[in-house]
C-alpha cells in the first residue's frame, strides 16, 4: 500500500563523526562504520545526510579545523562516492568553520549547516556566496560551552524570529541567494524546556518568514526531562527512551509548517510524518488509486 500526503518535507539523517555527541558519540568515529550508517539512514528514507565532526552539546569543547576535517572528510568522500544513491541524497556538512565547509563542498557536500548562523567564522558567508551551496542558519543564544546557563528572553519566538530575519538579510546582502537559505529555531541551543515548547507550539510564526524551516528535536534533553517527570524519575530518561517524544515533536512541527526534520531515527519519524501528512492533506493513495474522500 502506498500512502502519500499533500505536504512536502524532507528527512535529514544525523551522522555524527565525533567521540562526544550527546546521543551517539563514538558510535561512528570510524569512517567505515559511519559510511555503513549513512547507507542505513538513506535506506530508511533520509534525503539529506547531515555529517558533523564537532559536538555542539552543552559544555562541548571546541575542535580544531584539522581534527574536524580528519573526522568528516573520509566519510564525506565515501558517501559521495556511493554513486547509486548520492544522486538523490544531498550531503550537508554540520560546521561553523569556513575551511571545513570549503573542503566539504569540494568533497561533495551541497548544504552547509551552520549552528552559528554565519557568526562563528567571518569567512563562512563568502564560502556560501562563492560556492552557491544551500545553507541552514540556526538560532543559538550564546555559545555551546555556556548556552544553557540560565537563558532569558522577553518573548522567545519574537526574538528568535527577529534574529533569523536579520541573519537571512545579512546572508543575502553578502551575495547568498535567498532561495538557498533554510532557517532553524535551534531547539535546545540556549533555551529552557519552556522556551523549546513555546517555539514548537508557535512554529507557524517562524514559517511566516517564508524560508523552509528545519527542526531538530531528536533525542534532546527537554524530551528526556518531560518523560522522566511523568514517570516520576529524577534524572532525564536515557536517549533510548526519547523516541516517542521525538516523534511527537516532529509530528507537531510538520503540522505547524516545518519542512526539514533533522533526526537520528529516520524510519520511525518517517512513518509518523507520512501518516501526519496524509491526515493533514486529506488525501491518500492505495495501490495506485488516489482517494480524496
Contact in structure between 135 and 178 (CB atoms under 8 Å): no
> Smaller CB distance to ligand HH2: residue 103 or 199?
199
Bridge partner list, 285: 290
CA atoms within 13 A on the CB side of 44: 23
Q: Look at the block and give the residue holding cell 547568498.
A: 176
- Beta strands 284-286 and 289-291 are antiparallel
Cell (9 digits) for 147: 548556552
Under the phi-then-psi rule, with left for phi > 0, alpha for psi from -120 to 50, and beta for the rest, what region is 229? alpha
What lies within 8 Å, CB to CB, of 178 at 6+ separation is 168, 172, 211
Rounded least distance, CB 108 to ligand HH2, Å: 19
> Smaller CB distance to ligand HH2: residue 3 or 60?
60
Alpha-carbon distance of 246 to 165, in angstroms, equals 27
> Smaller CB distance to ligand HH2: residue 16 or 131?
16
Alpha-carbon distance of 53 to 281, in angstroms, equals 38
- Beta strands 284-286 and 260-263 are unpaired
Distance of CA 108 to the CA centre of its chain: 19
Rounded least distance, CB 233 to ligand HH2, Å: 22
Enumerate binding residues for ligand HH2 (CB under 6 A): 14, 16, 18, 21-23, 52, 55-57, 94, 113, 115, 136, 138, 184, 186-187, 214, 216, 262
Which has the closest alpha carbon to 137: 89, 76, 184? 184
Rounded least distance, CB 162 to ligand HH2, Å: 18
| Catalytic residue (one of 97, 219, 262, 270) | 262
> Smaller CB distance to ligand HH2: residue 250 or 284?
250
Rounded least distance, CB 64 to ligand HH2, Å: 16
Rounded least distance, CB 147 to ligand HH2, Å: 11
Any catalytic annotation for residue 161?
A: no
> Smaller CB distance to ligand HH2: residue 61 or 149?
61
> Smaller CB distance to ligand HH2: residue 196 or 276?
196
Rounded least distance, CB 78 to ligand HH2, Å: 19
Distance of CA 209 to the CA centre of its chain: 18
| Catalytic residue (one of 71, 211, 220, 270) | 220
Alpha-carbon distance of 70 to 17, in angstroms, equals 10
> 51 in helix, strand or coil?
strand
Which has the closest alpha carbon to 240: 264, 211, 258? 264
Any catalytic annotation for residue 220?
A: yes
Catalytic machinery residues: 220, 262
Amino acid at each position: 500500500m502506498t500512502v502519500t500526503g499533500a505536504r512536502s518535507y524532507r528527512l535529514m539523517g544525523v551522522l555524527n563523526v565525533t567521540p562526544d555527541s550527546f546521543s551517539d558519540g563514538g558510535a561512528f568515529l570510524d569512517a567505515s562504520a559511519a559510511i555503513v550508517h549513512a547507507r542505513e539512514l538513506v535506506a530508511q528514507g533520509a534525503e539529506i545526510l547531515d555529517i558533523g565532526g564537532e559536538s555542539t552539546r552543552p559544555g562541548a569543547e571546541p575542535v580544531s579545523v584539522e581534527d574536524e576535517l580528519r573526522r568528516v572528510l573520509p566519510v564525506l568522500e565515501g558517501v559521495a562516492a556511493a554513486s547509486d544513491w548520492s544522486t538523490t541524497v544531498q550531503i550537508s556538512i554540520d560546521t561553523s568553520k569556513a575551511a571545513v565547509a570549503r573542503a566539504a563542498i569540494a568533497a561533495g557536500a551541497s548544504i552547509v549547516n551552520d549552528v552559528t548562523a554565519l557568526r562563528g567564522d567571518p569567512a563562512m558567508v563568502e564560502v556560501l556566496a562563492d560556492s552557491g551551496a544551500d545553507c541552514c542558519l540556526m538560532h543559538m543564544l550564546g555559545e555551546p560551552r555556556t548556552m544553557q546557563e540560565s537563558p532569558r528572553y522577553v518573548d522567545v519566538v519574537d526574538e528568535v524570529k527577529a534574529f533569523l530575519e536579520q541573519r537571512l538579510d545579512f546572508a543575502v546582502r553578502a551575495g547568498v541567494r535567498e532561495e538557498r537559505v533554510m532557517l532553524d529555531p535551534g531547539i535546545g541551543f540556549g533555551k529552557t524546556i519552556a522556551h523549546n515548547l513555546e517555539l514548537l507550539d508557535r512554529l507557524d510564526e517562524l514559517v511566516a518568514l517564508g524560508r523552509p524551516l528545519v527542526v531538530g528535536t531528536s533525542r534532546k534533553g527537554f524530551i528526556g526531562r518531560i518523560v522522566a517527570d511523568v514517570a516520576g524519575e529524577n534524572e532525564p530518561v536515557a536517549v533510548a527512551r526519547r523516541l516517542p517524544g521525538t516523534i511527537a515533536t516532529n509530528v507537531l512541527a510538520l503540522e505547524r509548517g516545518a519542512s526539514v526534520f533533522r533526526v537520528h531515527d529516520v524510519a520511525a519519524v518517517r512513518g509518523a510524518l507520512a501518516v501526519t501528512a496524509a491526515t493533514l492533506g486529506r488525501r491518500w493513495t492505495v495501490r495506485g488509486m488516489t482517494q480524496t474522500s
